[in-house]
Structures are given as C-alpha cells and as structure tokens.
Amino acid sequence: MIDTNKYEGHTEGPWELSKYTGVGGGARLHTHVKDKRRITEKSTVIHLTRRWLKDITKADIQLMADAPALLAEVKRLREELALYRQGVIDATLMYPHLYNYLPLYLRELIE
C-alpha cells in the first residue's frame, strides 16, 4: 500500500500542462495560486525542457499533471473502503453466523 503521508505539503491541484515558448522551449506543469494583487496567477510546478522531454511520453507528462487528482481519489477511496469495512464488522458482530456466508474477499477485508 502506498504511504500517502509522504505527499503532505505538495502543491495543490489541479495542475495544468502548457507549452513553454521561452528559451529552451519545452512544457510546464502549473497551477493557479491566489494572489492579493490579482485574482489568480500561474505558478510553475515543474518546467520540462525539450532535452528532458525527448525521453518521456505525453502520457507520462499527463500522469504527472493528474497526480494531485489521483492522490485525492486514492484518499477518497480509502475513506469509503473504511466505511464498508466497518459496516461488515458491525454486521458480523450483530449476526455472527453471517461470517460463514461472507465471500473470501470480505473476510479478508475485516481480518
């Protein structure tokens, strides 16, 4: 299981991918950051130079851009799984004979 605690403090998403037209070209992953002077401003998370991009696919870059959303989905699914797990535990405590009828994957979930 992935330890999602190691991602605490990461730059909040969503991250967006855009072409970089400055010196060296390439692409940027950026996010919008609230600023007191402006409504939002773009803040670069990662600058990918052309030289680096030659060894990476567009799908790899999109995976990096989707990292905050994927992390949020992992956390949401873990919370939902914990609720289901507790529901199965509660049901088997109330009706112990149900345990024998549970599919193997549910038994593993509560053990």
For 68-109, what is each residue's pLDDT tens digit?
A: 889 999 999 999 988 988 888 888 888 888 878 788 877 777
Rounded distance, CA 10 to CA 66, Å? 13
- What is the pTM assigned to this prediction? 0.67
pLDDT at 45: 67
How far is Cα of residue 56 from the mean position of the Cα atoms in its chain? 20
